[in-house]
Chain A
């Protein structure tokens, strides 16, 4: 469970992220939506402990994310732009990341290789990351987040650059992942269809604030599109 308490983060005295109280429960996939610059990535970075809010706390399983390093072990993060050690090979990078999280057994290498096979990059595992295509880098970024066996997955535009087959496989993985005990996914995306298909709940952000939280499972199909355009003040029919 993730809990935001009185979070305020101000930028340039003009833009402010303000989340007075918000709870994200286990076994749910939250779709975080909003226009460009609404504050989605900033919120995610605060949740990860990479950016400190001006005030307030973020609790993950009751522990403050800015005070406890151990809690980070349970969080897997896929950034919007892959952040990788470009000079390492794909396999080296994944092996290095899993070692950082304390996974050092031989079984772990097998685990990495299984993921590489799943995303069809096992042939390129010994190539340097800087020579990878955009999609391949994204795949490595996704695998890095998955091999650490996280309980919470935070995904910031994870489908960028992926081919349709990889997207399908990844969505399949996410559906399996959420069915396990105490798992949570926060997915930031602009693709409303994906949110409609896989998310259980949606969070819509506007100017740094969560303006609506909707349970999608109890709502009718494609409702998110109507709500999204209505909430953000654009019918989506013009142009």
Chain B
């Protein structure tokens, strides 16, 4: 453990020394500027009560522990084989595990502190309230540490081989259970065996009543966290996909080119399992939305439900389309060989995405309608709204993502890296904007009449523009694609 710690410190010092002094000053300046900006924004625009703020922070931390930690540990240990690298040196397996685990915890705490820090300005009592909850957070850490360690060790001992899939399933389940557990605890609902956590929070929870703010706040935190964990997950996961190839290889091995059907690719149950793993977060998001809906039904009015649906479509489309298109990237050469035009590829991807996102939204709409016992007029309106929004979101996102992944990304390696960072930031940023718009609409919808009509008109307008620009954009992409292919041929 000492050896690893020393090596990491040495590495950190080496990296720091490598950065020229002026850049270090520049970086420090940027960080200070960001923080000053955040101080200003938070203290002038955030009017949330202090206890509510604490509530969200604790919720955030809990959620991060539940989601980020298992994923990170899984990837560092088993997928990227980092543990193997360390374990080959003269240190024990337990030391390796210990080090990796606490490294993640420290990272997480550091991240949380970075987020909390701007809130402390003028709100010093917040610090004391947070301090009060340190035992609680420590309890979570130990609780998770014990669970993850014992379950992973148990699985390792029992299965020895093929452990990856079990771990994937375990982590997936843990995340789902973790979320509901956190939700239940903070929803002041009694959970057997967790009275320690509940008692710690009792005083705080008693001040908070379950209302619409909670619902929206929860969806926001949910969205942000899912995005963060998803980005982390995706970046690590697709480096080496151990689940194997897709049905396209089967087609090629048969020696004849069948028309590619991008909507239904599940020829084998294994592919379905693989895609469940890939789209795990999407499934969880869907479940969370239904869960939230069921518990929030008495407090939410129709307009808020519309906004709620919009938030769902935004998050869901983001998660699904980016994941879906990313999956196709590795098979791009196959598409080129099959003489499939990029336009056709776009078309099929868009239809597939529209069907999937639209289908899930439709299910949610039906559940909402049944739960709230809406009139046929309201149901039709809800379906109309969700369809419009789905079409708009799917079109915009599919074109953007395909454009970045297939046309812009392969240009230059250095440029590629910058684009990759930009793309990730953009994904997070745009989804945050969507969430913010959602909150704003949600908070003011009761006051401003006919806002929803304006929104629909806007959606329709974008939809029409998109549909007409389809061919034009596809042609542009096709051209970029041909240039890339020609360059590749020349090389």
- Contact digits for B59-102, partner A, Cβ 8 Å, 1 yes 0 no: 00000000000000000000011101111111110000000000
Q: In the complex the two chains form, is A92's CB within 8 Å of B15's CB?
A: yes
A12 within 8 A of B: yes
Cα distance, A96 to B90, chains bound together (Å): 13
**Are the CB atoms of A88 and B4 closer together than 8 Å?**
no
- Most chain A CB atoms below 10 A, which of B81, B85, B161: B85
Contact: B85 with A92, CB < 8 Å?
Answer: no
Q: Chain B nearest CB: distance from A69 CB in Å?
A: 5
A69 & B90 in contact (Cβ 8 Å cutoff): yes
Q: Kindly state the interface size class of chain A when it binds its partner.
A: 20 to 34
A70 near B90 with CB under 8 A, answer yes
State whether A100 and B10 are in contact (beta carbons under 8 Å apart), knowing that A11-B161, A85-B85, A131-B413 are contacts in the complex. Answer: no
Q: Give A126 to B15 CA distance when docked, in angstroms.
A: 11
Complex CA distance for A50 and B92, rounded to whole angstroms: 11
* A99 contacts chain B at the CB level, 8 A cutoff: yes
Docked pose: A70 CA to B7 CA in angstroms:
17
Expressed in whole angstroms, the minimum distance between the Cβ of A75 and any Cβ of chain B is: 8
Inter-chain contact B14/A101, CB cutoff 8 Å: no
Quick check: B89 and A88 within 8 Å, CB to CB? no
Q: What does the 1/0 interface line of A42-59 toward B look like (CB < 8 Å)?
A: 000000111000000000
Residues in chain A near residue B88, CB distance under 8 A: 48, 50, 72, 75, 77
User: In the bound complex, what is the Cα–Cα distance between A95 and B17 (angstroms)?
Assistant: 14
Contact A100:B15 (CB < 8 A) given known A83-B84, A85-B85? no
Of the residues B18, B89, B239, B413, contact of A100 by C-beta under 8 Å: B89
CB distance B161 to A96 under 8 Å? no
Known A-B contacts A11-B161, A83-B84; the reply to A99 vs B413 at CB < 8 A is no
Instruction: Tell me if B87 and A100 are in contact (CB < 8 A).
Output: no
A164 to chain B: which residues have CB within 8 Å? Answer: none
Closest residue of A by beta carbon distance from B3? A100
Q: Is the CB of A83 within 8 A of B85?
A: yes
A100:B4 contact, CB within 8 angstroms = yes
**A95→B15 CA distance, assembly (Å):** 12
B191 within 8 A of A: no
Give the residues in chain B near A97, CB-CB below 8 Å.
85, 89
Judge whether A95 and B89 touch: CB under 8 Å.
no
Q: Which A residues are in CB contact (< 8 Å) with B80?
A: 86
Q: Which residues of B contact A84 (CB under 8 A)?
A: 85
A88 touches B11 (CB 8 A): yes
User: What 1/0 mask marks residues of chain B from 154 to 179 whose CB sits below 8 Å from any chain A CB?
Assistant: 00000001000000000000000000
A99 touches which of B7, B81, B82, B239 (Cβ 8 Å): B7
Per the bound structure, the CA–CA distance linking A40 and B11 in Å amounts to 35
- The answer, yes or no, to whether B128 is at the interface (CB within 8 Å) is no
| Complex CA distance for A84 and B3, rounded to whole angstroms | 18
CB distance from A13 to the nearest CB of B (A): 11
Given the complex of chains A and B, what is the CA–CA distance between A207 and B239 in angstroms?
A: 32
Q: Assess whether A104 is interfacial by the CB under 8 Å rule.
A: yes
In the complex, what residue of chain B is closest to A99 when comparing beta carbons?
B7
A99 touching B6 in the complex, CB below 8 Å, given contacts A83-B84, A131-B413? yes
Residues of B within 8 A of A71 (CB): 90
The verdict on A92 contacting B14 (CB below 8 Å), with A85-B82, A99-B3 known, is yes
A73 at the interface (CB under 8 A from B): yes
User: Across the two chains, which residue of chain B brings its CB closest to A48?
Assistant: B88
* Contact among B7, B87, B90 for A50, CB-based, below 8 A: B87
A70 to B89, CA, bound (A): 9
Chain B residue with the shortest CB-CB distance to A45 = B84
**Bound Cα distance A92, B8 (Å):** 10
Known: A70-B90, A72-B89, A131-B413. Is A50-B10 also a contact (CB below 8 A)? no
Please indicate the chain A residues that have their CB under 8 angstroms from the CB of B8 in the complex.
96
Pair B84/A95 contact, Cβ less than 8 Å:
no
Closest residue to B89 on the A side, CB-wise?
Answer: A100
Q: Which residue on chain A has the smallest CB distance to residue B416?
A: A131
**Chain B contacts for A11, CB-based, 8 A:** 161
Q: How far is the CA of A71 from the CA of B88 in the complex (A)?
A: 10
In whole angstroms, what is the CA distance A155 to B3 when docked? 25
What string of 1s and 0s marks CB contacts (under 8 Å) between B387-413 and chain A?
000000000000000000000000001
Say if the beta carbon of A102 comes within 8 Å of chain B.
yes
Bound state CA distance, A88 and B15, in angstroms? 10
Distance, CA A48 to CA B84, complexed state (A): 10
Q: How far is the CB of A43 from chain B (nearest CB, A)?
A: 16
| Chain A residues in 8 Å Cβ range of B81 | 83
Among residues of B, the one whose C-beta sits closest to the C-beta of A126 is B18
Find chain B residues with CB under 8 A from A131 CB: 413
Complex Cα–Cα for A77 and B90 (A): 13
In the complex, A157→B210 CA distance in Å?
Answer: 62
Q: Which residues of A contact B161 (CB under 8 A)?
A: 11-12
Taking a contact as CB atoms under 8 Å apart, the answer to whether B11 and A95 are in contact is: yes
Are the C-beta atoms of A73 and B90 separated by less than 8 Å?
Answer: yes
Q: In the complex, what residues of A have CB within 8 A of residue B413's CB?
A: 131
Chain B residue at minimal CB-CB distance from A68: B90
- Residues of A near B84 (CB, < 8 A) are 50, 83
How far apart are B79's CB and chain A's nearest CB, in angstroms? Answer: 12
A148 to chain B, nearest CB (A): 8
A12 to B86, CA, bound (A): 28
Q: Which of A75, A85, A95, A99 has the most CB of B within 10 A?
A: A99
Report which B residues bind A (CB closer than 8 A): 3-4, 6-8, 10-11, 14-15, 18, 80-82, 84-92, 161, 239, 413
Please name 22 pairs of A and B residues whose Cβ atoms are closer than 8 Å in the assembled complex, sorted by A. Answer: A49-B87, A50-B88, A71-B90, A73-B89, A83-B85, A84-B85, A88-B11, A92-B11, A92-B15, A96-B10, A97-B85, A97-B89, A99-B6, A99-B10, A99-B11, A100-B3, A100-B4, A100-B90, A100-B91, A101-B89, A104-B6, A148-B89
**Nearest 3 Cβ contacts at the A-B interface:** A99-B7, A100-B89, A73-B90
19 additional contacts (CB under 8 A) given A12-B161, A71-B90: A11-B161, A49-B87, A50-B87, A50-B88, A69-B92, A72-B90, A73-B90, A77-B88, A83-B81, A85-B82, A95-B11, A95-B14, A96-B10, A97-B85, A99-B3, A100-B86, A100-B89, A101-B90, A148-B89
